Structure 1
């Protein structure tokens, strides 16, 4: 295990840790690649969903991944310095600001309006490399049906583009029975038919798991690389390996009597209780919603083979957990408590907080030390 310091990291002895299993990332990539006949890329935007984009990109590249997607041009610049020969698509470029950066670092923008296409063409003396991102139902960034007609009617403009990819994005790929999936698939097939010799891409992780109809020439897994199966809640199982273990040290053990209270809002004890204070809070990525003060429900963490709930509101730098039902000889100060990982599933944490694994991964702050297995 190696320690790679992160921006604003505090000393390892007191800091929460995010343990990232690079072998599991690679295994998940191989699993997803094995499901498709075309190319499997890697989505490493948002610092690889909080896992560390440089480390993830390097591991995937060594496994044979040649195509990467980032959200911002600045993210692409960072990966270009690491992987000089990779194909790097930028999902959300703003051409008025990013144009020179994209050109200088040989990044391919995913363009979503005619204005951007015109700007990109004017910046090139030769063919302008581009991915065309079409709207099929999610109604975020994307070329409209009217934009498509305008583009197809202007052969001169099309002739100035080196179209590397036509793509769209599913709104409901994580819902296997959603009517939106076949509707978007139908719409995308009609668009793809206008570009028969250009590679096509529709599927994120959820789209890959929907089946081969959604795969086309290139798939774009993101969350699946990092261990979350978007269909987990429907299937009650995961086809992917856990990547991230978020944990923090047990700093103090306290005995509280019935009617004593703990934390902001003074959560009262219903009985004599043993509690543990953990050096990790919402400044590190532990959501305040992990404990429901009104109902006394808490997300269950893992400690040395035992599962136990949080007890008391999450504060900026600390949480408290209930140790009452764990044998006193099974833990000690300094032991690491797993907030989420293989023994305390991120999916369960997300349900408690009313959010998704995506948000929990990306909320883990820079104050948390990343370690790579």
Structure 2
């Protein structure tokens, strides 16, 4: 009997999603985001397969992620863009790992230019077009072009920005960001341009430019935060039944007595909980998939256990595996039930889940 949760990673589904996004992007390069350890699925694993599928550029957030990815790729040539840019003291390590920093501020530009010391180093430039996180304001970019000595030792190969509302095609911010990005990127005519994430790819040709940076839709999430028939499930999280029990009418289940049985109810106790990545907030709308049907969770998710309604389900016996997310219960659906997103659900899957890889 399996005693713990199991995470199955389908690399063929990952490759299929890459092909869908590449086709949708037209002639734009697909540069996968593999930050947060490949959205929780293993950056080295997913980047290796995506490299086999033709990806030659990748995005990470932290310096440590970039160093690890460069090591994992070995002699496979690829550009690795570091979204954090040049943080204090990081320039030597960035260069040593062969990473391309995405410069987010005038101080970062100064730090990378100073580090070059007479050589010419590649860099990407991040323009904030309305998200107000990282990136130069458009007016800062204008000032920069008037003081090109700040870029004296830098080869700006790419200008990027990031869409805040790409999953909502009709949101007015999409058009505003596109207009701002088009205007500012024109100040750097020799640089390639990148704006679209997963959702942005499907906003239309105007958003795709030279390079697209998909993340969630590579890993099974829809580009609009709802299931999309074109996108296949990459991660399947399952957990075994530890015990099947009968709860009499009027008795409660779990911490806080948050659920009370209205009738005599047969319940399965699964070996999975929030320590494995199942959101505590999944109660009261969460469900699992078993024997051809959705089975509602009952009571609060605890650290190591959840309870599931198996009334009238004779197949539910100790040792049987129930699907938490996967092809029958898509990650967008499970995330919505917990009031969160597919991004958070995937990146929260814990190492305790035994990992199985298919499609190597």
Q: 1:202 aligns with which of 185, 195, 201?
A: 195
* Shift in Å, 1:158: 2.7
1:315-326 maps to which residues of 2 (within 5 A)?
315-326=302-313
Q: 1:64 is matched with which residue?
A: 54
Q: 1:255 is matched with which residue?
A: 246
- Distance in 2 (alpha carbons) for counterparts of 1:311 and 1:360: 19
Deviation digits for residues 150-207 of structure 1 (CA, Å, limit 9, x no counterpart): 2101122233211121000001001010000011000000011111221100000010
Asked if 1 retains the 8 angstrom alpha-carbon contact of 2:241 and 2:317, the reply is yes
Q: 2:334 aligns with which of 349, 361, 373?
A: 349
- Distance in 1 (alpha carbons) for counterparts of 2:247 and 2:149: 77
- Distance in 2 (alpha carbons) for counterparts of 1:313 and 1:156: 59
Asked if 1 retains the 8 angstrom alpha-carbon contact of 2:86 and 2:101, the reply is no
Q: 1:310 is matched with which residue?
A: 297
- Distance in 2 (alpha carbons) for counterparts of 1:239 and 1:13: 32
Normalising to structure 1: TM-score of the pair?
0.92
In structure 2, runs of 5+ residues without a counterpart are none
Asked if 2 retains the 8 angstrom alpha-carbon contact of 1:89 and 1:107, the reply is yes
Q: 2:116 aligns with which of 120, 124, 140?
A: 124
* Shift in Å, 1:232: 5.2
* Shift in Å, 1:370: 2.1
The reply to whether residue 220 of structure 1 matches residue 213 of structure 2 is yes
Q: 1:39 aligns with which of 20, 29, 33?
A: 29
- Distance in 2 (alpha carbons) for counterparts of 1:103 and 1:27: 34
The reply to whether residue 238 of structure 1 matches residue 238 of structure 2 is no
The reply to whether residue 93 of structure 1 matches residue 85 of structure 2 is yes
Asked if 1 retains the 8 angstrom alpha-carbon contact of 2:245 and 2:267, the reply is yes
- Distance in 1 (alpha carbons) for counterparts of 2:135 and 2:123: 14
Q: 1:107 is matched with which residue?
A: 99
The reply to whether residue 22 of structure 1 matches residue 14 of structure 2 is no
Deviation digits for residues 281-324 of structure 1 (CA, Å, limit 9, x no counterpart): 011111111113xxxxx312111223210011110000000001
Q: 1:362 is matched with which residue?
A: 347
- Distance in 2 (alpha carbons) for counterparts of 1:69 and 1:131: 12
Q: 1:269 is matched with which residue?
A: 261
* Shift in Å, 1:340: 1.1
In structure 1, runs of 5+ residues without a counterpart are 1-11, 293-297
Aligned residues: CA RMSD = 1.4
Cα distance change of structure 1 residues 108 and 88 upon mapping to structure 2, 3 Å threshold:
same
Q: Secondary structure of the equivalent of 1:253?
A: strand
- Distance in 2 (alpha carbons) for counterparts of 1:104 and 1:310: 49
* Shift in Å, 1:348: 1.8
Asked if 1 retains the 8 angstrom alpha-carbon contact of 2:239 and 2:324, the reply is yes
Normalising to structure 2: TM-score of the pair?
0.95
Asked if 1 retains the 8 angstrom alpha-carbon contact of 2:249 and 2:262, the reply is yes
Give the number of equivalent residue pairs: 353
Asked if 2 retains the 8 angstrom alpha-carbon contact of 1:95 and 1:120, the reply is no
